[in-house]
Amino acid sequence: MSSKSAKKKEPTSKKEVKYKPPKEFMVRPADDYSIKDLATILLHPEVIENLPLAVGSFVKITRPGSTTGVVGIVEEQDVEDLLEDRSDIIQMTTPLRKLCSVMLGERVSLLKISKQPKYAETVTVGAHNLTDSLKEALQSSLPGILDQFSLLQPGFSFPSGVTDTDGKEINVFITEINTDLLPNISALNLDGQSTPSSIAASLFHSKSTKISISDDIFSRYNPSALVDYSQIGGLQKQIELLKTSVSLPLHQPDLFTNFGITPPRGILLHGPPGTGKTMLLRAVANEENAHVLTINGPSVISKYLGETESTIRDMFREAELYQPSIIFIDEIDALAPSRNSDDAGETESRIVASLLTLMDGMGNAGRVVLVGATNRPNAIDQALRRPGRFDQEVEVGIPDVAARYDILNLQFKKMRRHEISEQDIKEIASKTHGYVGADLVALCRETVMKAIKRGLDFHNLDSLKIGLSDVENAMLDIRPSAMREIFLETPKISWTDIGGQEVVKQKLKEMVELPLIAAESFQRLGVSAPKGLLLYGPPGCSKTLTAKALASESGLNFLAVKGPEIFNKYVGESERAIREVFRKARAAAPSIIFFDEIDALSNTRDDNNNTTASNNVLTSLLNEIDGVEELKGVVILGATNRPDAIDPALLRPGRLDRHIYVPPPDAAARYQILDNSTKNFGLGGNEDERGKLLTLLSELTEGCSGAEVVLLCQESGLAAVMEDTNAEKVELRHFQKSLDDLSLNITPEMIAFYEDFAKRYSR
């Protein structure tokens, strides 16, 4: 080959690699900014050149997966000031980050905006508790301040230069911008189509733009600022603990090194879903202004060998580079399960080993803290849960009454048009057992939806206000997350629906309601609330119906357990089912566990027909009721018609404390049952005749159980319809016919047996 031909081919052998701008940019802070620079973003020179953009261009900044965002003005980064020469870094001012609701370390996308925003006709600025004199002062100072803005956007907060009566400078923010010529550029989709949005950007003109001042800063615009501690309710104890465990290692690690020890590096947040674990982390990151890296399973797991571990190592390296930083591992049980479990494979074992190595190497990493979150703490590898790795474990549990009041109070403060008093909020908090924070937020949202629907139906949206009835209607649709797996539609049965049984009703009220009403007295006197109650008696005497009424009237979390459903053919599964029932009941306390046909679970262990499985289930039941772990806020309610078949160990004091005999209904109780069951039968011409007929029927049903009396009424009504399909009333002859066909199941021997048992065991 000649040298000439070689020279001709040389240029084609070297291909220039074209630079590809990143699709997402990592957010870092922009320092030393003025009011003029609030909307400024700093980008790498190569990004500006290749997107293509220019200095002074307008871009839309959005979080991944979102179509709405804020508008920024492009400026060039000083590459020498960066910790490393990376083109995927975007520097944003703190007000712009808050407006976009992004934390340091999160990723955002950019979209070029070709049109310049128009000048605003009216800018509304809001602040709290403004007097007339303060409004006048603001009216004179704001034009000069707003004239410094290069770009106005709703939500921008800035000092006004005006002081209040206490000498503090008033912070105001832009609540609304009106212009007929302004396209809503911040609501543009990636395809350039406009979508509704509450955020718009515009320019200020000192001569043509009017300034309006509002007392109500939430009148038209509710800023989506970053979460801080003030927006979290019911978690004050956890917040104080996190302040100590996170703030000091991030900002004052020298306090620990001066004593010759390393600061705590790891914190594990655990608790049911929806209790605020992720919100706590975001609040900590925002309050500490820390760089946040989030590790979750789907984003780091790779099919290629070693790539997952490499991704995690890169995140730890980034955390060390951009200190102070927080590494957040959400659902850590999925990423680092116990290596002894059947679910853990080779990949999971390698990830756990990598995490252990990286966490051990954090001792000299500087201002870096690792935070894990899970609702299955026992599924995590035990090696992670030792001091030096996850030093502290913070439980974020199901909120109690005080915490629910705190959460609801914060939510209703955000609602402007409501008639909910403080006492109403306390009442709502007392009724929302088992609701986590996310449920309470959903309840408030559904309340607003109910109120809007009511307003649309009556065409009075202008004067519409949210009332307590809207909250009560919304509660029917919002199920508590803590009880979702075992949620039952609470039957709408009241104490008045049960004929007679006044002693049973009274004792149930004492057991369930008294420990709640007089909790302070119980604690002061050192008296323990009764743990359990056994209802026994002949079949059909309203034992199960009483439990339903208790579930409806008490308002407590109610877990119904059917004995045979507990048993499983696999070894250990039946015992695990018992443990799960009690675990959920403890988590959702105060709660009631109702064991229907409890004799199926607790047959006496002296019975030769008993199997090992049934004995193990009984042992688990005894341990859960009165074991090492104390049972607080949980009442056990059992029902059976075979009390002699129950193991005596379950009937002793400290377990099923009270034994209540539920006898067949007497004449007065039968009268009440008949009255409830024949309300629409049209009996008699007036109340006196109806009363005489019911008295006669109550005498004729001597020896019947409550279920048999109800059946009598149903059969009588059916007989009337069969005689005449257009029947409007039930006659005495229909009852007499049904009485002739009714067979009694309760025998004198049966009554004697229960009465004898009652003499020996009833308390």
Residue ranges per structural domain of the chain: 24-112, 122-181+197-214, 229-394, 401-465, 495-661, 667-745
Q: Quick one: pLDDT at residue 6?
A: 41
Domain 229-394 has CATH 3.30.300.30: no
In the 3-class helix/strand/coil scheme, how is 335-401 assigned residue by residue?
HCECCCCCCCCHHHHHHHHHHHHHHHHHHHCCCEEEEEEECCHHHECHHHHCCCCCCEEEECCCCCH
Domain 401-465 has CATH 3.40.50.300: no
| H or E segment to which residue 409 belongs | helix 401-414
Tens digit of each residue's pLDDT (9 = 90 or more) over 258-282: 888 888 888 898 888 888 888 887 8
Q: Which residues contact 339 (CB under 8 A, 6 or more apart)?
A: 348, 349, 352, 381
Indicate the range of 107-111, 217-221, 631-635 predicted with least confidence: 217-221
pTM given for the model: 0.69
Q: Map tokens 């043509």 to a residue.
A: 208
Separation between Cα atoms, residue 227 and residue 235, nearest integer Å: 14
Q: Which CATH class is domain 122-181+197-214?
A: alpha beta
Architecture of domain 495-661: 3-Layer(aba) Sandwich (3.40)
Q: Quick one: pLDDT at residue 737?
A: 82
For the sheet containing 591-596, what is the strand order?
557-562, 591-596, 634-640, 532-536, 658-661
- Do domains 229-394 and 495-661 share one topology? The answer is yes
With 60 as the cut, is the pLDDT of residue 225 above it? no
Region 358-375: mean pLDDT is: 80
Separation between Cα atoms, residue 358 and residue 361, nearest integer Å: 5
Q: Quick one: pLDDT at residue 563?
A: 67
Closest CA to 71 of 39, 30, 106: 39
Pairing relationship of beta strands 557-562 and 591-596 according to DSSP bridges: parallel
Cross-strand pairs, 173: 126, 157
With 70 as the cut, is the pLDDT of residue 113 above it? yes
Q: Quick one: pLDDT at residue 472?
A: 86
Q: Please, are residues 388 and 370 in contact by the beta-carbon 8 Å criterion?
A: no
Separation between Cα atoms, residue 609 and residue 607, nearest integer Å: 5
With 60 as the cut, is the pLDDT of residue 189 above it? no
Q: Please, are residues 104 and 292 in contact by the beta-carbon 8 Å criterion?
A: yes
Chain Cα centroid distance, residue 389:
28
Tens digit of each residue's pLDDT (9 = 90 or more) over 563-592: 677 777 777 778 888 888 888 787 777 778
Q: What is the DSSP letter of 215?
A: S
Helices (H), 77-173: 94-100, 132-146
With 80 as the cut, is the pLDDT of residue 761 above it? no
Domain 667-745 has CATH 3.40.50.40: no
| H or E segment to which residue 38 belongs | none
Q: Which CATH class is domain 24-112?
A: mainly beta
